[in-house]
Every structure is written in C-alpha cells, then in structure tokens.
Copies of this chain bind each other. A is one copy, B any other.
C-alpha cells in the first residue's frame, strides 16, 4: 500500500471492519463492530495504527493527508450529533483515546471533553443548562490535557482539588460550586503556566485535537507502555490507533452514570453479569477507583429499563465474539451508550470455568477451549492459598481482587520494589491506589495491596492479568509514604516487615502465614481431558520422593522424567552416611559407607516405583559435586576460630583438652573440605565423573534400584526403571557406566531369579554431548536434555551467579528473556535440535525428552513439541500446565499445517 495522500488513515466507526484489530486497535475494532451491529455507540472515528507507525517513520510528523482525513471525520461526527467542533453555541466535545491492537489496560493516555475552551464552556453550559457540570467538564479536560498532553504531575492538580474539596461540606467532587470550579480551573492553568515555562492549553479546539493525537502517538513509546509490552511480549512496531469519539456524559445528574462490566464473573467464571457503576460520574471515576462504585445488579433497581437494554446488548456481544466481554458504558440522562467492548481479562479459575461452560453452551469447540486458557492462567489456578486453619492475625480486609496467596516484605515505592526484587527479595507493594506509573513495581512484587479502589480498579485489573495476588480497597490501612509505614488499628507496620496477602478472600496477615495447595474442580479435570486429546508430547514429572511421585501422578504425570537420587541424601541420618562415604579413605571404607546408604535408597525407590506403577521412572545416578554434602568452609573456619578463643578461656586442664580435641577434629574436617574444594564446582568432579572414578558409587545405586524393582515386582507391581547417567561429555563415559549398570543389573536380578525390563540412557546437558549425540546414542536407549546445565554451559553462565547482571540484561534487551526461565531457542534450542537429530540418525526409536526447569514453561514446551521430542518432565505442580501447553503447541502446529496447506 503506497502511503500517498490517497492513503486511508482514518476510518469512521461505521466504515471499520471489526476483524482489523491490527489496523484499528482493539478498542476501535470493538467500537466499529458495535456501531455496525446497530448498538448505541457515540459516533466517532479511528486514526489507524498505520498512521502511528508512519508518524514515527516521518520523524514524529503526521503522515501526508492524515490531518485532512481527521477533519473529514470530525465533520461526519458533527453531522451525526448536530453539534459543531469549536462552536461557541453548540460545541461538539470529543474524547481522544488510544487503542492498541492488544489490550493494554490503563497503559495509554486518554483526554476527555476535548473541544472546550473559555468560549465553548459557556456554550456547553447553555446547551446543557448546567453551569456546574459544564465547568466540571472543563476542569476535567484541563486536568487531563495538562497531565497527559503537557506532562504536568498529577499530584499538582490533585492538591488543588483536595484543597477546594476540603472547603466543601461533603468533601466530594460533586460538592464543588461553580465558583470553586472556576477558581480550580484558573489555578490549574496557573500550574501549567509555571510548570511548562509559559505554555498553555491551546484555546483552538483543532490545535487541542492535533496535540492530543500526537500525545497518544507519543505515549506508545513512553516508558510505561514499553514496560508493559516488554513484560507481555508485545512487539514495539504494532503502533497504537487513536479513537476520537463524541463525548457522552455520565455526570449529568441522577439519571446519568457510567460503569464497567464483565459478561461473566472474571474471578470465578460464573455465568452472571458482573460489574460496577457510579451514577452521576464520568468513566474515569470508576476505573481510577477514587470513589467506590455499586455492583451492577443494583442498576436493575435504579434504572431497570437501561439495565434490561444493557443485558441484551452484552449477551449479543458475547455471542458475537464467542468470548467473555469486558464493556464500558455511559448513561446520559437515561440513555445508554456503549463505549467499549473487549475480551475480558480473567483469573485462571474463571478462564477454565468460562472455557468449559462455553463448550457446554455450544459457543465454542473443545480445541478453542484448550487454546483459550493460557498456561499462566492454569498455573494461577494451582497457586497456594492461605491455610484455612491458620490462626494468624488478619490485620486488614479488602476486596478479593486477584486470587492466590503470596508473601513478601512490605514496600511502598514501586522503584524500591523493583530494586529489592532484583536483589532477590520477595516484596508486597502497598499503595493508596495504583496508577500506570506503578506498573514496574507491580511486576516486581509478589502481591499488591491498595487502600482504595474496587474490583475493576487499576490495581485489580493489572494484578489479575499478571496472575498476581491482589487485595484492593483495604481502607482500614492508614498509609504514610513519608514515614514508609502503614498503621492499621494501632499496629505500625514499617517497610521491610513480612505480610501475607490472600487475594482470594481479600485478607492481609502480618508475618508469613502457612499456605496450602488448592483442590481442583471438575471443570479443570474436563479441560485437562480435552487437552490430552490434542497433545502429542508426553508429560512426566521430576520427583525425588514417593510423595512427589504421588502428587505428580494425581496431576496426570505419565511417569517420572527425573528422579534426583542425591536429594535422597539430605536428611540427618543420610547425610551422615553420605559424609562418611565421601571422607572414606580408599575403596574399602567407601564401600562400607555405601552399604549404609543402600537400604535408604532402596526404600525410596520402592515407594516411587509403587506410586508410579506401570509408568516409567527415570532415575539419575549421583550428580552433584561431593563437597555439596560437606559443611561450608567459612562456617568451619568460624567455628575453629571460636574454639581457639574458648581455648584461652578454658577453666581447667580437662576443658582445655576437650577443646583441643574438638579443634583437632574440626581441623581434619576442614582439611577434607579443602581437599574437595573446587574453583568451579558446576564444571568439576560431578555427574558421571563420580561414577567413573568411584565405580562403587554407581554399583550401590544400581543395586538399590534393582533390589527395589525386584521387591516391588515380587508384589505384582509393574516397574519400568530407566537409569540415567548424568553429565556425559563423551560416548566412552556412557559406554563405561552402561556396562557397569548392565553388570550389576544381571547380578541383582540373578540373585532374585527375576527379569526386570529396564533401559539405560543419559542426560544431554553439555554442548559436547549434543554435538556428538550420534556417538553417544550408540550406548543409550534414551536421551533427556538437562536444559539447566545445558543453558549454563552453552551461555557460559552460572545460574547461581547470574543474578548480578541477568535482570539488567533483560531490561536493556541484551536478552529477550532470562534463559533459565524461557528456553533459548537460538543457542540451547539449537543444540537440543542437533542432539535429537543426530541421536535419532543412528537410533530412530531413541526416546528423547527434557527434564530441566524449562519442561514446565509453555514457550519452551512448544519448542519441544515443534522439534519432535517425546516428552517433557517438570515439577509435579507444573504438570497440568505442561499438558495444556503441549496441547496448545500441537493445535498451533496443526493450524500452521492447515494454513500452509491452503
């Protein structure tokens, strides 16, 4: 499309195609849809996202022809409303709103009542017969224009308002007199003048419009928008549309009002209209959470006809969009206007409920239901809740704005929240109310608590979108930003103290309260069944104990993909035996210590095999560097120096002797620890390198596995052990260990007179293993990519040490994501692909999976599906998420295949 003066930059609502979200933005597309469906929508037009991009391409100048088309649009609106833009007698007022292709709640700037000036404000008063209303509209315009277009701090205007409101009896906006409003407007203009070095709001409405459209464009590249897009992975080059729409007013008396509503409950998914409204108010009053609004059901009593009309409209919208809608409306003197419709954000629980319900209602098919629930939403469903039996003190109760329990240190400043989170601290952001400027702090926080605002306030909407726990409107909290503390019923809670937030019930607790896992409903199970119908990738769990294995199985795991035997060695008795083994002098002593470990290991394997009856269990042989089991060197040094001090204080010769003995013992231990110390333990003597140097360790572990297998099999339980050799870098290592495994297996099964069917495979977790996978596959029945280590070695990046710079890396976009969270496809993924291809080139039926943390991360799972792995393995609580993500990946590839078939 050539961008000449003929190019169409502006669409009237009635000319727009609701499918063209990319061009018209989400809001514009919804308005066009509703207009074309004949719903009551104030007339208006859309400046396209293309215009926004052209604006940037053009050095921040409107593209040729755009302004002329805006004027044409205005003329059309004038015609429909019978008002004229800038007409002192009968002025047309418009709102100017942003509208990006993806919903970005509260992130973009809006100007209302544009077209007002010292002349038209009089005309509005005459026209409406309401001077106070008219002046209030002018005040709102001046505030928004000053703030958003001209960049004056909100607080400055707010302070003026507070001062004047304090002079009224009711203390509310509506209590302000016309005279006070005039003074306020004058004060605002003065603020703008002194703040902006003599600049002023243009008197010319056209100039107002021009500047406002440019401001919307500019806000696309503002910090908060960029932040939001970064977190939500929305590309920068989509651009935003601008919606210019005739104003309607909810603040024209008792039969006017404004509200927002969801077609279903966005917290629970219940099929019931859900929302809030305020009579005699403008939309921003609801969203900003400054006044606490009424539940939507109340409208049925207050304005029954309007309510009825509204209910019919939203039902129509839901049928049109096949999804739950989030709508905004205004009632102007008893007349309903729809201002927005969009897909409603929802909690995980609601997402599942709505999707399942809509299948039952025949609105969508199963595939759509599976596609629609995001893995993050499902994960949210699995979030912990506060233990109902707790007797911890509830210090505040607010609205249950976003479910889930979370804990963190209290912090009041979003910057500080971000800073502390970067340091690895868990924080809860506590605010009077939140605004888009606080977004980065909300991202960083575990939970959000506000003292003001309702279920659809900024804090609530954003928190639900992020799946973060949130309590809103906890008005009992007396927040003191300057003292960095809040006061609640006489209790002072300073910054840094721990609180626990229960976003499902709205409760706030002091301290760290125990939490428990949720139970899952039938809708969840049904959705999971559907997901299983679509997915190809199998899902296993990483489980080290019989209990983990049971949980995993309950969540639908199809086996254990990673059983870390070393985790079995923690615990007092076990650790002691393990230390004895490590400190053993020579093979004989080591074997003796291993004999003590053998029954402990066997017992664990028995439990896991039983829990996973009939399903494969992949057991990884000992992996970590041995010194992980030994005491910390610095601690030992500290203890030693303490002992030396106490030697000087010794009261008797006997005391002294005993202390000297202790010093001696510590010294010996210290020497051992020093001997085993490694400069880079991650790259040290670990993994199969242990089994190669100490074959007796491998022997013991394999014996424990097969003794357990024989025992369990003897009880009639089917076992499928898969023995996995870790940290292999050359085929020879695997060959060596596999031989040993087969030898011990023969021995033990021979002793029991049994046959156990088992396989031997390896972790592919080093670049060299992936690169030489063809050779390694000769000795392996299966591969399991250990993506944690593979990421560490591919990037040359220690996960333990990367905290210092990795967040900065993501922030300045050196990396798109933390590669330990989201699999790096270009590097690590390339190695996984190479390893899989080469492995299967010599052994076509080689079973290949991954067992790093990425096994529970949706985009990583999609990658695993794409390159044809057999399974992913993740932590037990991520299993449902992995099942869903695997199904979505399969559906997405199917879509791709269909698309390319055409």
Q: Which residues of A contact B (CB under 8 A)?
A: 633-634, 637-638, 640-641, 644-645, 648, 678-685, 687, 689, 692-693, 727, 729-730, 732-733, 736, 765-768, 771-772, 775, 789, 792-798, 800-802, 804-805, 808-809, 812-815, 824, 826-828, 830-831
Contacts and interface: CB of A to CB of B under 8 A. Distances in A.
A692 B808 contact: yes
A798 B684 contact: yes
A831 B679 contact: no
A25 to B, nearest CB: 30
A687 B805 CA distance: 12
Contacts of A685: 801-802, 804-805
Contacts of A794: 729, 766-768, 771, 793
A805 B685 CA distance: 7
Residue picked from A689, A772, A802, A813, most chain B C-beta under 10 Å: A689
A683 B792 contact: yes
Contacts of A795: 729, 766, 768
A794 B827 CA distance: 13
Nearest to A642: B641
B683 A729 contact: no
Given A648-B648, A767-B794, A796-B766, A680 B801 contact: yes
A769 to B, nearest CB: 8
Contact of A645 (B634, B644, B689, B733): B644
A814 B798 CA distance: 26
Contact of A729 (B640, B797, B812): B797
Given A645-B644, A680-B798, A793 B767 contact: yes
Work out how many copies of this chain go into the complex.
Answer: 2
Ranked 10 nearest A-B pairs via Cβ: A641-B641, A683-B798, A768-B827, A680-B798, A684-B801, A767-B767, A766-B796, A679-B800, A678-B801, A680-B682
A685 B815 CA distance: 15
Nearest to A768: B827
A672 to B, nearest CB: 14
A423 to B, nearest CB: 11
Given A685-B805, A732-B814, A767-B831, 5 more contacts: A648-B648, A729-B795, A732-B813, A765-B796, A767-B827
A640 B809 CA distance: 37
Nearest to A682: B680
A813 B733 CA distance: 10
B736 A814 contact: yes
A648 B767 CA distance: 55
A645 B648 CA distance: 9
A143 to B, nearest CB: 38
A805 B733 CA distance: 12
B637 A814 contact: no
A815 B736 CA distance: 12
Nearest to A826: B772
A767 B795 CA distance: 7
A161 B272 CA distance: 110
Nearest to A791: B768
Given A798-B683, A801-B680, A826 B645 contact: no
B692 A805 contact: yes
A798 B767 contact: no
Contact of A796 (B693, B789, B802, B814): B789
Contact of A808 (B693, B798, B808, B826): B693
A641 B768 CA distance: 45
Residue picked from A775, A789, A801, A830, most chain B C-beta under 10 Å: A801
Contacts of A645: 644-645, 648
A729 B772 CA distance: 21
A591 to B, nearest CB: 19
Contacts of A800: 678-680
Contacts of A681: 679-680, 801
A772 B827 contact: yes
A732 B816 CA distance: 10
25 contacts: A640-B641, A641-B641, A641-B644, A678-B801, A679-B681, A680-B681, A680-B682, A682-B796, A683-B793, A683-B797, A683-B801, A684-B802, A684-B804, A692-B808, A693-B805, A693-B808, A729-B794, A729-B796, A730-B814, A736-B812, A765-B796, A767-B767, A771-B831, A772-B826, A793-B793
A795 B792 CA distance: 12
Nearest to A766: B796
A786 to B, nearest CB: 10
A790 to B, nearest CB: 9
A641 B640 CA distance: 9
Nearest to A806: B689
Contacts of A766: 794-796
A772 B831 CA distance: 11
Contacts of A824: 768
A789 B796 CA distance: 9
Nearest to A693: B805
A754 to B, nearest CB: 32
A824 B633 CA distance: 35
Residue picked from A682, A683, A733, A815, most chain B C-beta under 10 Å: A683
A442 B135 CA distance: 101
A726 to B, nearest CB: 10
Contacts of A679: 681-682, 798, 800-801
A798 B692 CA distance: 17
Contacts of A789: 796
Contacts of A767: 767, 793-794, 796, 827, 831
A739 to B, nearest CB: 12
A409 B693 CA distance: 27
A175 B732 CA distance: 57
Nearest to A675: B804
Contacts of A808: 692-693
A891 to B, nearest CB: 30
A634 B681 CA distance: 17
A805 B683 CA distance: 12
A693 B794 CA distance: 21
